[in-house]
Structure 1
Amino acid sequence: MQSSPPQESPWPQAGPAQRRSRDVAGPWHSEAACRRDEAGLFFAPSQEPTAARLSREQAAKSVCARCPVLLECREHALLQPEPYGVWGGLTAAERRVVLSRRRRREAATGGRGADITRIA
């Protein structure tokens, strides 16, 4: 019986070379880990009980935690802004907090030196 060759991990490793090639090869979402999971994990069904929502959001965040494009996804959701779902490891409520902090920081600095690549 022949043994099969070792399987590569289905999760791409995000190194500097891959980040450069992604810019040329296509949009960031083509490498998103969530593309392998059901959308229902990232978006709430109607009238979802609180305990179920918290459990689902935690499961979605664990997928995000191993995603090579987590930061690109998060920035997309913050810049759109995406009103629903888990994006870049943040829920809609968490993204509202981040956006509020950014607005306060920009107001305090008069818009000077605002760095949109910062997460919080």
Structure 2
Amino acid sequence: MSPFPRPAERAPDNLDRPRHWSADAECKGEVTAVFYPAPGENSAYAKSICWRCPVRVECLTHALEWPENFGVFGGLDEKERRELIADARRLAAKQREKETSGAAS
């Protein structure tokens, strides 16, 4: 649990709009290039920032819902996100197959 208080749920500009998750991101203020390493470069530094971020899940969700083809989001690089999507699709296919074979019995 973080020693820091959770941020306000509403934006501080009194417009009564929800605060965007990225306002609480640990990477805020970091050089953007850190999260977009060139092919073959190490992304460990970027990932170390992500792993201590309080909005890591929201960031990863964003990258999966709005396909981010490059960069580190939510602690995963583009290859890791593609693998995660492929794993989810394989699992869903297995589940459909199981349900179909169970219904046919």
Identify the TM-score tier after normalising by the shorter chain: 0.7 to 0.9
Matched, 1:26 2:19: yes
Q: After the TM superposition, which residues 1-120 of structure 1 pair with which residues of structure 2 at under 5 Å, given as runs?
A: 13=2, 18=6, 21=9, 25-45=18-38, 50=40, 53-54=41-42, 57-110=43-96
Consecutive unaligned residues in structure 2, runs of 5 or more: 12-16, 97-105
Moved more, 34-43 or 17-26: 17-26
Change beyond 3 A, Cα 1:64–1:106:
same
Consecutive unaligned residues in structure 1, runs of 5 or more: 1-12, 111-120
Measured in 2, the distance between the counterparts of 1:105 and 1:19 equals 36
Once the two structures are TM-superposed, the CA of residue 81 in structure 1 deviates from its matched residue by 1.5
1:82–1:92 contact (8 Å) kept in structure 2: yes
What TM-score does the superposition give when structure 1 sets the normalisation length? 0.64
Change beyond 3 A, Cα 1:39–1:14:
farther
Measured in 2, the distance between the counterparts of 1:106 and 1:22 equals 36
2:26–2:50 contact (8 Å) kept in structure 1: yes
Change beyond 3 A, Cα 1:42–1:35:
same
The RMSD of aligned alpha carbons is 2.6
Count of paired positions = 90
Runs of 4+ in 1 over 3 A off after TM superposition: 17-20, 22-25
Determine which structure has greater relative contact order: mean sequence separation of CA pairs < 8 Å that are 6+ residues apart, divided by chain length: 1
1:22–1:28 contact (8 Å) kept in structure 2: no
Q: Larger radius of gyration, structure 1 or 2?
A: 2
Once the two structures are TM-superposed, the CA of residue 97 in structure 1 deviates from its matched residue by 0.3
Q: State the percentage of identical aligned residues.
A: 34
Moved more, 101-110 or 30-39: 101-110
